[in-house]
A and B are shown apart, each in its own frame.
Chain A
Amino acid sequence: MLHWNIKKIVAVLVLLFVLIAVFNFTGFSKNIKNFFFLISSPIQKAFWQAGKSISGFASGILEIKTLKKETEDLRLENQELLNQIAVLTELKRENETLRGALELGLEKELELMLVRVINKDISQDSILVNKGRKEGVLEGSAVITAQKVLLGKVRTVYEGFSEVVLISNKESSFGARIPERDADGVIKGKGSFNLSLDLIPREKEISEGDVVITSALGDVYPPGLLVGQIKTIKKSDVDPFQSAEVKAAFDINNLDYLFIVTAH
């Protein structure tokens, strides 16, 4: 009886390994995923809206409605202002440094594609959006909010959907700068929407609340996009670099419509 069971288990395992190998090596797994995303999209949309309204209602019980709206408006306004300050500071510094030495070309505007979030994988800091290869989405494209807040980049493109890996994902790493302090560093994802800014030279004085934006270093993201604000600073006398925890500017619970940067 036991022998028969083992034979059966081995047969199932072998079959499973063969199927997995076929799915992965032929790329058929992408077709399977796309098929399921396609048939699930309307149901997911309904669940998404229901979850959003119920969670909003639940939080509304705990807060006064008007206060909540006011806070939300102020938060968005603050985010826009922070972004404007960051961009203006960066432009000012760039102007001062390069004026007279270089003839700058016109700043290229970002070309954007509007997408809708249909699925989140919070444990892995990823989201799924409703446009893919047939709409011209390319792997590696940056994804931002309407307030020019950086969210992440497209990792995998399916026929009609795209997977976006958030900047807080543990595999994420890109160049960033604090324009107010003229300090460069590297933003690394820590998972669960946490970020850290590493490799900041020790001699640079930074403080909590400083705005962090993307830099052109590494050409991962367009420069000047808002990343977040410095939360806590870690400085050691023996370490040539200091690091800081960064509070991401995006709010995972308020993501609905986003933009994919198709050209910059």
Chain B
Amino acid sequence: MIKKIIFFIITFYILILLQTSFLVHFNVLGVVPNFVLIAVIFINLFSSSKQEKVLSALIGGFYLDVFSLDNRGGFFGFYTLVMLGLFLFLKVILEKYVRLPVIKKI
């Protein structure tokens, strides 16, 4: 658990720094890919661990709040709530409506 938290803290930190300091030089028509959001969606889609899904949403959202220069929604914590909402949304969608292909052991 602690290892996972440390892993996410470091990974998302690197991603957000890349996003805000490196990738801004490569924007296309003022658009820069949101790596943190992509990573959170990716983890929530393909990870089998619920802990990983929640942790990625919380840590990713926190970093977006810290490094976002315009607190969307007018308050600090907006992205954390959005990411948590995204986690719940994907959880409901995946559990109820989607069946991802799995490789069965023969």
Query: Residues of A with Cβ closer than 8 Å to B?
Result: 9, 12-13, 16, 19-20, 23-24, 29, 32-33, 36, 40, 43-45, 47-48, 50-52, 54-55, 58, 118-128, 155, 163, 165, 169, 192-193, 252-253
B17 within 8 A of A: yes
Neighbour of A20 across the interface among B21, B22, B70, B81, CB < 8 A: B81
Per-position binary interface string of chain B over residues 21-35, scored 1 when its CB falls under 8 Å from any chain A CB and 0 otherwise: 111111101111010
B11 within 8 A of A: no
List, in ascending order, chain A residues with CB within 8 A of B18's CB.
47
Q: B25 contacts A54, CB within 8 Å?
A: yes
Q: A20 contacts B32, CB within 8 Å?
A: no
| A122 and B32 in contact, given A16-B80, A20-B76 (Cβ under 8 angstroms) | yes
Q: B27 contacts A122, CB within 8 Å?
A: yes
- Give the complex CA separation of A79 and B31 in angstroms: 26
A-B pairs under 8 A by CB, number: 96
B90 within 8 A of A: no
Of all chain A residues, which has the CB nearest B14? A43
Neighbour of B69 across the interface among A52, A58, A128, A192, CB < 8 A: A128
Query: Residues of B with Cβ closer than 8 Å to A?
Result: 17-18, 20-27, 29-32, 34, 54, 58, 65-70, 72, 75-77, 80-81, 84, 88
Interface of B is mostly: helix
List, in ascending order, chain A residues with CB within 8 A of B88's CB.
9
List, in ascending order, chain B residues with CB within 8 A of A155's CB.
70
Q: A50 contacts B80, CB within 8 Å?
A: no
Q: Can you list 25 A-B pairs with a CB-CB distance of less than 8 A?
A: A16-B58, A16-B84, A20-B75, A23-B77, A24-B76, A24-B77, A32-B76, A33-B66, A43-B17, A51-B23, A55-B25, A120-B20, A121-B67, A121-B70, A122-B27, A123-B30, A123-B32, A124-B69, A155-B70, A163-B69, A192-B29, A193-B30, A252-B27, A252-B30, A253-B27
Of all chain B residues, which has the CB nearest A27? B76
Interface of A is mostly: helix
CB distance from B34 to the nearest CB of A (A): 8
